[in-house]
Chains A and B, each alone.
Chain A
């Protein structure tokens, strides 16, 4: 049988028109004398014709339905009912980070007399952050798209009116009396922070889709300085993506390793032809400086 092993795979190649001479003749000669391989050839051929010849006709209305959905620019619900779990995790992480930053900032700012109840505020904040995490995984999904922009935002909402105007995330924090008149947090988290420091990056790995892929292997890993700086330039923050909706799993996940060994990830979508990134450091969607096609081309060419 071991002799047939090599012919088995050649049968598959031959059916696909991928077997060149002289192997083709060698295989034909073998099939002529080996019953088992002849059967395998027949079986493989039957599978091919069963799948390839029995194509179903799509309903006539399909193209109209597709064009309607394109014209209305509204993805249909069944396509992406839920944000992927990967996004859920990012949102959870983002929520925790946000709470941690707020809590830390507030405890720094508040006078010490308030400090004891600050603990409660934190506990409350965390508890509702957990609820909020659930809400984040579900709420941002509108019409099957994921709306990121308004969850909790960058400097404008943080700095001008403090927390009150701060979007939806820290609802519990808004309700907490400690926060009502507190000055704007000194620390802010920005989408661009992750990409702002081009220095100190030692590796970039590009993965396909989301991290639910079991044991994912990167499509490509870059470690040379030139590639790193080209990619980081493309991924750099260009503008906030408040109005942008992305749906489905990200096209790429980009894992960025800093010199100190810490890692952060960017999920990359293309929406309206623009490169949209969400860093797991803050969960905020932003439009990157680079062109989506250029990034593809660069990764594909590598």
Chain B
């Protein structure tokens, strides 16, 4: 769907054609659902929040000015909904991560093996599951910013616009989120040992 087509649909919806909105739902639901799924960690909540995101988008469509992509605007709504949901439900989050991470220690990250080398036939599914577990250890803010990059493929500038962050903050948060995730993967005892039998596990669990 081109941006023009999208704007055309939005104009139609605004003028009262509710059914036209379905095209936007079909276009974006997969990515919004996956964002919610990885943010919240379960399908049921992800479905509820996806629905809530589109509902809120529909209800506040008049607030969409068209100066950024509709998707960026929608991701912004969705991110806020997921983060609010996590906060209001007191979901566990890594207490070591502050919102802006200023007081975070710049710990050294040692990668003790070639586990992630393309030459190691590590099952993608195994890595994926470990990454999903690792995501849950990140604070909602870090998780969200990384997901906007990895799932939605937003540029730093778009992420900055979606989350109202400075470009430099986007850059450093994505980097820190990846580093945290790596540290988790290294310390995650659930990565099968047979994939790298001579691995010396690094770091403490957790």
The residues of A with any CB-CB pair to B shorter than 8 Å are 1, 5, 8-9, 12-13, 16-18, 36, 39-40, 42-59, 62-63, 65-67, 69-71, 73, 75-76, 78-80, 82, 84-85, 208-210, 212-215, 217, 219, 247-249, 251, 270-274, 292-293, 296-297, 300
Contacts and interface: CB of A to CB of B under 8 A. Distances in A.
Given A1-B108, A44-B182, A62 B34 contact: no
A209 B63 contact: no
Contacts of B135: 51
A76 B51 contact: yes
B63 A55 contact: no
Contact of A271 (B44, B59, B65, B151): B59
Interface of B: 18-19, 21-22, 25-26, 29-31, 33-34, 37-38, 44-45, 47-52, 54-56, 58-65, 67, 80-81, 83-85, 87-88, 98-100, 106, 108-111, 113-118, 122, 124, 127-128, 130-132, 135, 146-147, 149-151, 153, 155-156, 164, 171-172, 174-175, 178-179, 181-182, 185
Given A39-B117, A56-B33, A70-B55, A18 B156 contact: yes
Contacts of B51: 62, 65-66, 69, 76, 79
Nearest to A57: B30
27 contacts: A13-B175, A39-B113, A43-B115, A43-B116, A44-B178, A46-B127, A47-B181, A47-B185, A50-B124, A51-B135, A51-B146, A51-B147, A62-B29, A63-B26, A66-B55, A71-B18, A76-B55, A79-B49, A79-B51, A79-B85, A208-B164, A213-B99, A248-B81, A271-B60, A273-B60, A273-B62, A273-B63
Nearest to B161: A300
A141 B30 CA distance: 30
Contacts of A39: 111, 113-114, 116-117
A42 B113 CA distance: 11
A233 B2 CA distance: 37
Nearest to B83: A209
A56 B63 CA distance: 30
Given A9-B175, A79-B48, A212-B87, A219 B59 contact: no
Nearest to B113: A39
B65 A293 contact: yes
Q: Which residue among A18, A48, A215 has the maximum number of chain B CB atoms within 10 Å of its CB?
A: A18
Nearest to A297: B65
Given A62-B33, A248-B81, A18 B59 contact: no
B54 A70 contact: yes
A270 B59 contact: yes
A82 B109 CA distance: 41
Chain B facing A: main interface SS? helix
Q: Which residue among A215, A273, A297 has the maximum number of chain B CB atoms within 10 Å of its CB?
A: A273
Nearest to B157: A18
Contact of B34 (A50, A55, A66): A55
Contacts of A296: 63, 65
A297 B67 contact: yes
A30 B85 CA distance: 43
Contact of B111 (A40, A66, A209): A40
A271 B151 CA distance: 29
A292 B62 CA distance: 8
Nearest to A72: B55
A9 B98 CA distance: 20
B84 A84 contact: yes
